[in-house]
Structure 1
Amino acid sequence: MDEMSLASIPLCEKSKAPAAKTTMSVREMQHLLGLGKTESYWLIHKNFFEVIQINDKMRVVISSFEKWYANQIKYHKVNGPPPGEELRKRSYSVVEAAEILSVDTETIYTLIRQGKIKTEIVDFWMRIPRDEFERWYSSQKRLRTAADRERDREIEEQTISVPEMAKLLGITREKVYWILKCKKYCDILVVERVADRPRITKASFALWLKSQSTYQIQAPAKEVPEEVPLKLQRPKSGKYYSFQEIQDFYNISRTTLIKWIRTENIPTIDVGRAKRVRKDVFDDVLRLKRNVEEDT
């Protein structure tokens, strides 16, 4: 064929790009996931992805297969990206939620059982939708992410707590709460909240002191001996106190302990017939009520 003849051949006939593959055989899908024949056909019969008939043979539609793969975490490709890319974008596992809050998984399961966090089941796996997690998180202040805990520490450095203000002025906490609600003072005192507890900014407290003469900082009474700080104890289980451990460690009566649990809304868990209290939660309450020496 001479050069004139070659030139006369249409360009589209000289080189045609192969059409993109849109389906794969059941065997290809089986090898892709490293499955046996029985489990491969089980997936097909569950209608997780689209299957069509071509020449009386079943073919898996690749686009629907990839969508299914991105929304589940049970099956993994032998050679390929990990599953659940889209699923992870819209939801958390219980383990992931626990890591975000720096708590154990039992705490998350307790919140789920209490109906505070709603879940969904994806391929027999429990998942927490991200929007549901954010809804619950914004509704409470006790459990915090690492970023929020860091912000809380920054706020604490610039504020004083209600017990601290009461001690400075030599008044009761109830009187402090009355001052914070008083129309005469509420425009001066700026209140921040950390772990759902009010804290007064140091700058606004200083302005408030100058604006009135009723309350003044009290010098500590010399005749009163300094309270020996309690040392935080480590329970036998590490993360949870038993009621008896709290009573023995801190010389607290059972009546006082039950009262604290109710008034401070301290969550408990059941272990057999006994109840347990998370160490970190109870330690936070103890810091507010007693002079505590931090454990190391």
Structure 2
Amino acid sequence: MSEKRCYTVQELQEILGVSRPTVYNLLKKTDRYWLVHKNVFESKEIAGKMRINIASFEKWYANQIKYHKVTGEELGKELKAWSYSVPEMARLLGLTRSQVYQILRNPKYSHFFETIVIAEKKRITKESFQKFLEGQDLFHLDPANDYEELAQEQNIVLANFRRKKLSQTGVRGSNGNLGYLTFDEASYLAKVSRSLINKWET
């Protein structure tokens, strides 16, 4: 049996959790065809009926935050991998949303940021957020977000470095711990190149 490659518009409606009795209240027929005709999916007509390419639908689903599958599958996985919402940025900095919007509008900081609007919500690219952290000294990652071991780190410079690294990679294992430093941490604290640290180690 060949692999299924397309959805019908009706299947799309069901996948996004809209039953036939509630279609006109939750996702009107015109809305579901609007999604197709807006070219967010690859689609074509077969025997007079619209078909949506499954791979293109999954790509769209991973990069949007408005529509949910009935299966509960996380939406916007790819989008969240490279961008932050304003509430997420506020949590990371320990600020209110209004303070974050002030930062985004402030000419002193606005040049750091690359933003996009998804479902009428502003998002900030993680790369530009990292440039903001490294390009100014007033705002820092909020220690309230630290995992237990990072909260115990007494060296403030090292703790801030690890917070930035964690926000960049999302991987706690990329940081050292109370017992050892990574090569990147050692080179940062010693203010020498990573290659020199490697020579010292060997």
- Normalising by structure 1, report the TM-score: 0.44
Q: Which runs of 4+ in 1 moved over 3 A?
A: 146-153
More helix, by proportion: 2
Find the counterpart in structure 1 of residue 174 from structure 2. none
Question: In the alignment, which of 112, 124, 132 is matched to residue 136 of structure 1?
Answer: 132
In the alignment, structure 1 residue 124 sits paired with structure 2 residue 123 = no
CA distance in 2, matches of 1:99, 1:21: 42
Higher RCO (CA < 8 A, seq sep 6+): 2
Distance 1:137 1:42, change over 3 A: same
Distance 1:152 1:106, change over 3 A: farther
CA distance in 2, matches of 1:121, 1:31: 27
Distance 1:21 1:80, change over 3 A: farther
Find the counterpart in structure 2 of residue 254 from structure 1. none
CA distance in 1, matches of 2:38, 2:156: 53
Find the counterpart in structure 1 of residue 93 from structure 2. 101
Verify the 8 A CA contact 1:112 1:119 in the aligned structure 2.
no
Find the counterpart in structure 1 of residue 155 from structure 2. 154
AA aligned opposite 1:129: T
- Identity percentage over the alignment? 40
CA distance in 2, matches of 1:152, 1:109: 31
Verify the 8 A CA contact 1:90 1:130 in the aligned structure 2.
yes
CA distance in 2, matches of 1:125, 1:29: 24
CA distance in 2, matches of 1:19, 1:113: 52
Give 1:16-27 correspondences, 5 Å limit.
18-27=1-10
Structure 1: segments with no counterpart, 5+ residues: 1-17, 157-191, 193-296
CA apart distance, 1:36: 2.9
- Normalising by structure 2, report the TM-score: 0.63
CA distance in 2, matches of 1:30, 1:122: 21
In the alignment, structure 1 residue 75 sits paired with structure 2 residue 59 = no
Find the counterpart in structure 2 of residue 269 from structure 1. none
Larger radius of gyration: 1
Find the counterpart in structure 1 of residue 31 from structure 2. 39
SS at match of 1:63: helix
CA distance in 1, matches of 2:91, 2:39: 34
In the alignment, structure 1 residue 55 sits paired with structure 2 residue 47 = yes
SS at match of 1:128: strand
CA distance in 2, matches of 1:108, 1:100: 10
Give 1:1-296 correspondences, 5 Å limit.
18-33=1-16, 34=18, 35-115=27-107, 116=109, 117-146=113-142, 154-155=155-156
More strand, by proportion: 1
Provide the aligned C-alpha RMSD in A.
2.3
AA aligned opposite 2:155: E
1:46-73 superposed Cα distances (whole Å, 9 cap, x missing partner): 1111111111211010000000000010
SS at match of 1:111: helix
CA distance in 1, matches of 2:76, 2:29: 23
SS at match of 2:56: helix
CA distance in 1, matches of 2:71, 2:28: 16
